[in-house]
Copies of this chain bind each other. A is one copy, B any other.
Amino acid sequence: MSTSDGPGPELSSRLGYLLKHARLRLDELYTNALRPYGIDGRELGVLLALAGHEPASQQQAAQRLGIDRTTMVALLDTLQGKGLVSRHPDANDRRRNVVELTDAGRKTLSQAIEASDDAERALLAPLTPQAARHLRTALQTIVTHPDS
Name A residues whose Cβ lies closer than 8 Å to a Cβ of B. Answer: 1-2, 5-7, 9-27, 30, 41, 44-45, 48-49, 51-52, 64-66, 113-118, 120-121, 123-127, 129, 131-132, 134-136, 138-145
Dominant SS at the A interface? helix
- Contact for A120 among B15, B27, B114, CB less than 8 A: B15
Write out the residue numbers on chain B whose beta carbons fall within 8 Å of the beta carbon of A140. Answer: 12-13, 18
Residue from A1, A9, A135 whose CB has the most chain B CB atoms within 10 Å = A135
A21 to chain B: which residues have CB within 8 Å? 66, 143
Decide: A27 and B18 in contact? CB cutoff 8 A: no
Check A120–B26 contact: CB distance below 8 A.
Answer: no
